[in-house]
Amino acid sequence: MARSILCSHLIPSISSSVPLKSSLLLQWPNLSKTSHSMLLINRRFSAAKISMSLRAGIVGLPNVGKSTLFNAVVENGKAQAANFPFCTIEPNVGIVAVPDPRLNVLSEISKSKKAVPASIEFVDIAGLVKGASQGEGLGNKFLSHIREVDSIIQVVRCFEDNDIIHVNGKVDPKSDIDVINLELVFSDLDQVEKRLDKLKKSKASNPQTKMKEEAEKSALEKIVVALMDGRPARSISLTDLEKDGIRHLCLLTMKPIIYVANVAESDLAEPGSNSHVQDVTNLASELQSGLITVSAQVEAELTELPPEERIEYLASLGVNESGLGNLIRATYNLLGLHTYFTSGEKETKAWTIRSGMTAPQAAGVIHSDFERGFIRAETVAYDDFVAAGSFSAAREKGLLRSEGKDYIVKEGDVMLFRFNV
């Protein structure tokens, strides 16, 4: 596998090709105020392009419902979904909003002109078959598409339907999950062994390079033992230095996984009574992975209906909500992501950060200059903001804190940044 493939980065960033040159103090949610410098910033902001690089890849055997699920999640995804294996060849990519009821609450309080949710990219990848790591089916090319995502959503067929071809002849979630896991393991093993060979021959003399290579080698030696045993790389505990050392390899089995049990519409009300779902549940807990049950078929049909008829249709199947919100939120959590908000008259916006990020790093998600010139962040917890009813009321009640550069941003913080560039 070519080492040059870049893994995507976890954080959505704004490409800041136009730096903010003027020196000013900015309270972010007050951007709607019409001072000259504010307008200048606004204009530059709208010119900045948000690049969403947070990706969840939908994988699984051929013909299990990946594209059907993708089209439902992305609503107008338009990936070709049909009853024949390898229907998808090139990956389809779609951006999905992360549903969050807090956004509308904040937006109403601040009388914002618009509310902008956090988002994730979903990628519909071609079906994987036994031997893919050796070039079977659509082979290595598709493993490389998986290498480029941050997390894996594995669709497992749990619906019986003789008209829908199963590539292995019968519905068997355990075998399907094993096939995919083994292909990912083989692909990583191949890559890790090649890399270890290279590292053993390395003649690096620079002490820093040497130290990095030693950390990488030590991580890979541990990982190779797990892989030989059929276990994923993520099952090995590594030091931070070791983790950094192997990051560039984008190992497939390092990526977190959620299993999606794709059931028939008749099983939606009581998925636990379907033995295939029970198998996936047991395996997901053994592999310390998440599990969501959906009917991709039902979700796809829902998207064709006007919103008022959707609830009726779901009720007729004995459920009261679509499974997609859960899937999107679970994916977001799986990626270790948190949301903080900015809220003002112009807009209320949910920003995505990794857990553990400091206030300047969180500010940097809005613009790199916010991070560079960070002075302080005024912060109030979501519940306190809602209870107070505004930033100024929160300040009067002593709920608004002024935090410095070491502050670790918490889930649901509502923030105002002060910076100077």
Cβ contact 391:365 at 8 Å: no
Binding mask 173-192 for ligand ATP (x = CB under 6 A): --------------------
Shortest Å, Cβ 287 to ligand ATP? 21
* Nearest-angstrom CA–CA distance, 132 and 138: 7
User: In terms of CB distance, is 74 or 106 closer to Mg ion?
Assistant: 74
d(CA 185, CA 1): 13
Min. distance of Cβ 83 from ligand ATP in angstroms? 4
For residues 87 and 15, what is the distance between their CA atoms, to the nearest angstrom? 35
Contact with ligand ATP (CB under 6 A) among 62, 91, 94, 323: 62
The correct pick among 15, 32, 51, 83 for binding ligand ATP (CB under 6 A) is 83
Burial environment of residue 329 by CB neighbours within 10 A (0 to 12, 13 to 18, 19 or more): middle
Q: How many residues does the chain have?
A: 421
Q: Which of 13, 88, 151, 358 binds Mg ion (CB under 5 A)?
A: 88
- How far apart are CB 186 and Mg ion at their closest, in Å? 22
Let me know how many helices (H) and strands (E) the chain has, helices first.
15, 14
Query: Which partner from the list ligand ATP, Mg ion, none does 65 bind, CB cut-off 5 to 8 Å by kind?
Result: ligand ATP
Pick from 297, 342, 343, 358 the residue near ligand ATP by CB under 6 A.
297
Give me the residue whose beta carbon is nearest to ligand ATP.
127
Q: How do 119-124 and 55-59 pair as beta strands?
A: parallel
Round to whole Å and give the CA distance between 140 and 2. Answer: 10
**Rounded Cα gap, residues 331 and 264, in angstroms:** 22
Considering the complex, state which of residue 60 and residue 373 has its C-beta at the smaller distance from Mg ion. 60
Task: Let me know: does 129 contact 160? Beta carbons within 8 Å.
Answer: no
Considering the complex, what minimum distance in angstroms separates the CB of residue 86 from ligand ATP?
5
Backbone angles phi, psi at 390, to 5 degrees: -170, 165
Binding segment (CB under 6 A) for ligand ATP, from list 10-18, 49-57, 66-74, 314-322? 66-74
Q: Considering only residues 159, 332, 374, 417, which one is a binding residue for ligand ATP as defined by CB under 6 A?
A: 159
Return d(Cα 188, Cα 182) in angstroms, integer.
10
Could you give the count of Cα atoms lying within 13 Å of 44 in the half-sphere of its Cβ? 19
C-alpha span between 114 and 386 (Å, rounded): 18
Compute the distance between CA of residue 330 and CA of residue 135 in angstroms, rounded to an integer. Answer: 32
**Under rule CB under 5 A, residue 67 binds Mg ion:** yes
For the bound state, the minimum distance from the C-beta of residue 160 to ligand ATP, rounded and expressed in Å, comes to 9
Q: Which one of residues 73, 81, 337, 380 is an interface residue with ligand ATP (CB under 6 A)? A: 81
Q: Is residue 167 within the footprint of ligand ATP (CB under 6 A)?
A: no
Cβ atoms of 117 and 98 closer than 8 Å: yes
Residues 121-140: x where in contact with ligand ATP by CB under 6 A, - otherwise, as a string: -----xx-------------
Give the distance, in angstroms, between the CA of residue 321 and the centroid of all CA atoms in the same chain. 22
297 binds, among ligand ATP, Mg ion, none (CB under 5 to 8 A by kind): ligand ATP
Minimum CB distance to Mg ion, residue 128 (Å): 11
Q: Two tokens at 412? A: 């649901």
Q: Which helix (H) or strand (E) holds 121?
A: strand 119-124
Q: Please pick, from the candidates 296, 357, 363, 365, the single residue that binds ligand ATP as defined by CB under 6 A.
A: 296
Is residue 151 near ligand ATP by the rule CB under 6 A? no
Q: List CB contacts of 53: < 8 A, sequence separation 6 or more.
A: 8, 9, 10, 11, 12, 13, 121
Minimum distance between the CB of residue 47 and Mg ion, rounded to whole angstroms? Answer: 36
137 contact choice in ligand ATP, Mg ion, none (CB below 5 to 8 Å, kind-dependent): none
Residue 140 is labelled as binding a ligand: no
Known binding residues for ATP are 63-68, 263
* Sites of contact with ligand ATP (CB under 6 A): 60, 62-68, 81-83, 85-88, 126-127, 159, 161, 164, 262-264, 295-297
Known binding residues are 63-68, 263
* Sites of contact with Mg ion (CB under 5 A): 66-67, 87-88
